[in-house]
Amino acid sequence: MRRPVDTVQEQEKYVQSEKKPAFIGVSTKDRKNHGNIIHAVAARRLLPEGTEYQGFKPWSDEEIERIRSHSHLVVVMANAISLGVDESPMSALHRIMADNIERLNMPTVVLGLGSQAEAGEAAKQTIPAGTLKLIQVLGEHSQSIACRGAFTAEVVAHHGVSNVEAIGCQSTFWHGAELPFEYGRREVSNNIAFNYSMIRNEAKLIEWCVKSNLIMIGQTEFWEEDVAKSKDPKIGPRQKYLFANTRISENEYRTFCSKRFRWFTTVSAWMDFMSPLPLSVGTRFHGNMASMISGTPSLWFAHDQRTHELCKLLSLPHIPLEDALADMRIERFMELADFADFRKNYRDNYERFKTYIERAGLHLRF
């Protein structure tokens, strides 16, 4: 099938058009992972104002025609590619999305595609058939697919889709072409933000956080969120593992969460909270990104390929999780949260992102 828009010249007419883009994919109101709102909102903030559609249900003929009235279809992705499995919870939905995009047959722009894998895993692994179908369809209808880093680009290319580019995450470019912050070192205190991804891999880190009375920022930690809301949830497998493998008692953890756990459902509230803090650390990419776009230094603990590829591509300060676990001192983490390389490479990274958007036939608002 011929790609609907093959040349830059053909794309330029869409830039000049008054039509708006249509958006599908990761929602700005994601309640399963609060961190997703960072890159979901960033996509809508940076690109021309558009209209939202539900991409995970089959589109009617009327919906197809309505979406065709837009200039582009913008697909905002996240950790879409699950490696080493034949099926995933998302693969059936990916097939529906692929069928929709095939029927639509219009210029498509992809943002934020990522692969989820343990640190050090090879890229040459199987992926679910529905996900592969979606990647193939996106490749056919896009100038190129923007992915989060070199690892995901290798995964996509290995599975036969060659028009893929390592662009990073659009949330990095929240403020546009010019960075408004210096990210200088701030005064040491225990009022730093902390985030984590998996209790089984990071129990020692959580213990340090609780014993140091840091601020825990949640994204999918809904048990902790319920405690902070003054509810009384029963302990589940995650909490049982934590209490069995650390020096944290149930009562101590409940007290900690009631006082020092925070979560956010809007980016503005998240940024307002993070802005005055001295530092954010942890394994959550967007948890630390919320800090960075607020002007607060961050240090990523790279625990998987996704975090590593993003931090490496964008020159974000990061260390392997095992290095963080070996020496957990606030002063050390503050020293390592050095943004000199990030600032030095920011313009080049931004220009690569801007070129990708413009080549697809859109423009950036900032």
Residue 113's identity, in one-letter code, is L
CB 26 within 8 A of CB 78: yes
SS3 108: strand
Domain segments of the chain: what residues? 8-177+347-359, 193-338
What is the Cα–Cα distance from 99 to 72, expressed in whole angstroms? 17
Would you tell me the crossing angle of helices 91-104 and 61-68 to the nearest 10 degrees?
60
CB 357 within 8 A of CB 364: yes
CB 271 within 8 A of CB 294: yes
Predicted local distance difference test score (pLDDT) of residue 45: 96
Domains 8-177+347-359 and 193-338 share a fold: yes
Would you tell me the crossing angle of helices 285-292 and 267-274 to the nearest 10 degrees?
70
Predicted local distance difference test score (pLDDT) of residue 31: 77
CA-closest candidate to residue 83, choices 47, 41, 115: 115
What is the Cα–Cα distance from 43 to 27, expressed in whole angstroms? 10
Give me the CATH code for the 8-177+347-359 domain, please: 3.40.50
What is the Cα–Cα distance from 70 to 85, expressed in whole angstroms? 36
pLDDT per position in the chain (366 positions), as tens?
333 444 334 444 444 456 899 999 999 987 788 989 999 999 999 999 999 999 999 999 999 999 999 999 999 998 888 888 888 888 999 999 999 999 999 999 999 999 876 655 665 688 999 999 999 999 999 999 999 999 999 999 999 999 999 999 999 999 999 999 999 988 888 899 999 999 999 999 999 999 999 999 999 999 999 999 999 999 999 999 999 999 999 999 999 999 999 999 999 999 999 999 999 999 999 999 999 999 999 999 998 888 999 999 999 999 999 999 999 999 999 999 999 999 999 999 999 999 999 999 999 997
CB 169 within 8 A of CB 39: yes
Pick the CATH number of 193-338 from 3.40.50, 1.10.287, 1.10.530, 3.30.920: 3.40.50
What is the Cα–Cα distance from 73 to 59, expressed in whole angstroms? 14
CA-closest candidate to residue 247, choices 301, 220, 209, 190: 209
Residue 300's identity, in one-letter code, is W
Instruction: Provide the whole-model pTM.
Output: 0.90
Hey, how many other C-beta atoms are within 10 angstroms of the C-beta on 325? Answer: 15
Hey, how many other C-beta atoms are within 10 angstroms of the C-beta on 189? Answer: 12
Predicted local distance difference test score (pLDDT) of residue 118: 65
Predicted local distance difference test score (pLDDT) of residue 33: 87
CB 149 within 8 A of CB 313: yes
What is the Cα–Cα distance from 44 to 21, expressed in whole angstroms? 10
What is the Cα–Cα distance from 366 to 345, expressed in whole angstroms? 18
Contacts of 301 (CB under 8 A, 6+ apart): 205, 281, 282, 283, 307, 318, 319, 320, 321, 324
Predicted local distance difference test score (pLDDT) of residue 339: 97
Q: Strand order of the sheet with strand 142-147?
A: 51-52, 22-25, 73-76, 108-113, 142-147, 164-166
Name the maximum alpha-carbon separation found in the chain.
Answer: 64
What is the Cα–Cα distance from 68 to 51, expressed in whole angstroms? 12
What is the Cα–Cα distance from 162 to 250, expressed in whole angstroms? 51
Contacts by 26-35, CB closer than 8 A, 24 or more apart: 26/76, 26/77, 26/78, 26/112, 27/52, 29/265, 31/265, 32/220, 33/219, 33/220, 34/218, 34/219, 34/220, 34/263, 34/264, 34/265, 35/219, 35/220, 35/284, 35/285, 35/286, 35/287, 35/290
